[in-house]
A and B are shown apart, each in its own frame.
Chain A
Amino acid sequence: MDDLRLDCETVRRVLTGFIDNEVRKAGFARVVVGVSGGVDSALSTFLAAEALGPGNVCAILMPYRTSSPESLAHAELVVKTLGVHSLTVDITPMVDAYFAAFPDADHLRRGNKMARERMTILFDHSARLRGLVLGTSNKTELLLGYGTLYGDMASAINPLGDLYKTQVRQLARHVKVPAVIVEKQPSADLWAGQTDEAELGFTYEEVDRVLYLLVDQRYEVADLVAEGFDERFVRAVYHKVQASQYKRRLPVIAKVSARTIDRDFRYPRDWGR
């Protein structure tokens, strides 16, 4: 059975080449990236700084009043280590102004709103700086639907979307993302004390193994049970992938014409590039 180990040097070359190629093909030279202090955005920023030069990367730090001070400090560490441009935009005034009208909103609504607030800031600076928005979502969270649609899932190009979380960590170590960022508990930092693994109910090591076999190696659920995996866990993971399929697709269009976008009107994303 295959595993999740990477030949990190090859992946680094492929991903930096990808960033350079996709950014330039689209007629840009710069990227804008939201840096949270976590390992995913740190790795994306490291790869972009290598691909385009630190002067062509603008890191935007967007804390909310409940964000952990450690997150901001780690985001600043990324900026300082790489020497990329940076900008801090506190999202507290706009998020709080909105929820003043909806004071009973729960964690989920507030977290989603913050993620979408950050998205609007990134795309605004994309226009201001003529830089593409660089994505930071990894394959694990994309498959589980553990992200905000049109929030942190929104970007122009995403170098990490085909790497599982445990692979992101390997590559982050390889490109020398500071250890304090790589080794800490992953958190969306949407509320105090939140951690991904507590919220999801499993570790990234456990879920990545199941996802890798289900998705990459095309195991059926029954195959995994036969291999000794816990059936309830495997079914729960499978269900999360299935239930979040809509987040990975464009909105579904009612087909009435002879040629419908993305059904039978099919051009590459790099059309004319």
Chain B
Amino acid sequence: MRRFRLAVAQVAPALGDVDRNLTLHEKVAGEAISRSVNLLVFPELSLTGYFLKDQVPSVALRERAPALERLRNLSHRVAMVVGFVEEAPGHRFHNAAAYLEGGEIRHVHRKVYLPTYGIFDEQRYLAAGGRIRAFDTALGRMAILICEDVWHPAAAGLAAWDGAELILCPSASPGRGLGTAQPFQNAGTWERVIRTYGDLFTCFVVYANRVGYEDGACFWGGSEVVGPTGAPLGKARYLEEDLLVVDVDAGALRRARIANPLLRDERLDLTLRELERLLRAQSGAAEPAGA
């Protein structure tokens, strides 16, 4: 990777209004360009809003949709990660994030873990992705994990073992749980998780959360860039729109990996063998007795 400037667009997308959100993306991208940002990361479903419910098919975009084309054109000037509902072949709808760079879609990540509990209902409306891959960009090797994906350590492990130097995490996290934690109980958990990932996977972690309200749920913001020692390098405000700009330094990654060669010592062969054993045991347990 090279040294570059990244930014998180901590915005409040309008629910179900792709046109308004497209304008919002272009406006923030303009500001990022004026501040010499190389990569601008938007939150989860930034082009559509989050609690879409039955609007999902109405706001879905195919890869060649004009809205994405406008952003692709803009990506000649600043690389972007944007969130959208992707209509995939077979009319499957995915919660997706695209990495746009140099006028092209460099990578699309389809959210793998669709939360369907508590206030979440994603599996009712959306199809799950089936891949976690790192990918090369002009700025370095990256991976995208969308929101709930991050809460599955194996997903972050795969991204890191696939060589990601930066894990980009677009998110739409509604605040849950009052108490004395700032600003919500789940916000504290998020911060512990991403800092721990930075530390354990010796990579940059970019957490891009949104703000605003949908049906009374409050997205808490607090976007953060974590360095490869787990230390926060920059943090956006809670509960307010913000543009978090952070310079990331390839040297920091190198030094962290010299000091803590955890990735070098990773034992994928052992992990794979043990996973295969667990899979065999689980499928065996699912068979009826005496079969």
Contacts and interface: CB of A to CB of B under 8 A. Distances in A.
Interface of A: 2-3, 5-7, 10-11, 13-14, 17-18, 21-22, 157, 167, 265-273
A156 B190 CA distance: 33
Contact of B54 (A13, A18, A265, A272): A265
Interface in B36-78: 51-55
Given A10-B183, A272-B16, A17 B51 contact: no
A1 to B, nearest CB: 12
Contacts of B16: 268, 271-272
B51, B178, B214 — most chain A CB neighbours (10 Å): B178
B213 A21 contact: yes
B178 A167 contact: yes
The interface residues of chain B, by DSSP majority, are classed as: loop
Contacts of B216: 18, 22, 157, 269
B57 to A, nearest CB: 12
B15 A11 contact: no
A36 to B, nearest CB: 23
A2 B188 CA distance: 15
Given A266-B54, A270-B15, A10 B214 contact: no
A22 B214 CA distance: 9
B183 A270 contact: no
Interface of B: 14-17, 51-55, 175, 178-184, 212-216, 218, 238-239
B178 A11 contact: yes
Contacts of A13: 183, 239
B243 to A, nearest CB: 19
A10 B218 contact: no
Contacts of B55: 267-268, 271
A194 B197 CA distance: 57
Contact of B15 (A3, A5, A17, A273): A273
Contacts of B53: 266-268
A181 to B, nearest CB: 22
Given A5-B179, A21-B213, 16 more contacts: A6-B179, A7-B179, A10-B178, A10-B183, A13-B239, A14-B175, A14-B239, A22-B213, A266-B54, A267-B55, A268-B15, A268-B16, A268-B55, A269-B216, A270-B15, A270-B214
A21 B212 contact: yes
A270 B54 contact: no
A17 B55 CA distance: 25
A7 B180 contact: yes
A63 B283 CA distance: 68
B230 to A, nearest CB: 25
B238 to A, nearest CB: 8
Contact of A14 (B17, B214, B215, B218): B218
9 contacts: A10-B184, A13-B239, A17-B213, A22-B216, A157-B216, A167-B178, A268-B51, A269-B215, A271-B55
A2 B179 contact: yes
Nearest to B51: A268
A6 B175 CA distance: 14
A213 B46 CA distance: 35
Contacts of A167: 178
B54 to A, nearest CB: 5
8 A-B pairs closest in CB distance = A10-B183, A21-B213, A266-B53, A269-B215, A268-B215, A268-B51, A266-B54, A7-B180
B178 A7 contact: yes
Nearest to B183: A10
Contacts of A5: 179-180
A17 B179 CA distance: 18
A17 B183 contact: no
Contacts of A14: 175, 183, 218, 239
B218 A18 contact: yes
A273 B179 CA distance: 30
Contacts of A22: 213, 216
